[in-house]
């Protein structure tokens, strides 16, 4: 899957790397500022008992 994604990106390897880093930063931004705050009221840290 990652090889197919790498082949689909345009440009030389350094342009592909920059594109992937920007996409990764965008995904992390979306998770930290939209998804995690939306989910946090439903999941509390002390709910899981592993014993």
Residue 11 clears pLDDT 90, i.e. is over it: yes
Q: Percentage of residues in the chain with pLDDT exceeding 70?
A: 88
- 36 in Cβ contact with 47 (< 8 Å): no
Retrieve residue 38's tokens.
């939306």
Cα–Cα distance, 51 to 7 (Å, whole number) = 46
Residue 1 clears pLDDT 90, i.e. is over it: no
44 to each of 37, 41, 50, how far by Cα in Å? 12, 7, 15
What separation, in Å, do the N-terminal and C-terminal C-alpha atoms of the chain show? 37
Any idea what DSSP says for residue 10?
-
pTM metric for this prediction: 0.69
Any idea what DSSP says for residue 47?
-
- Residue 47: pLDDT band (50, 70, 90) is low
């Amino acid at each position: 899957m990652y090889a197919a994604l790498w082949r689909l990106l345009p440009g030389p390897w350094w342009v592909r790397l920059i594109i992937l880093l920007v996409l990764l930063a965008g995904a992390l931004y979306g998770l930290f500022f939209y998804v995690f705050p939306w989910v946090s009221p439903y999941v509390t840290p002390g709910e899981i008992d592993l014993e």
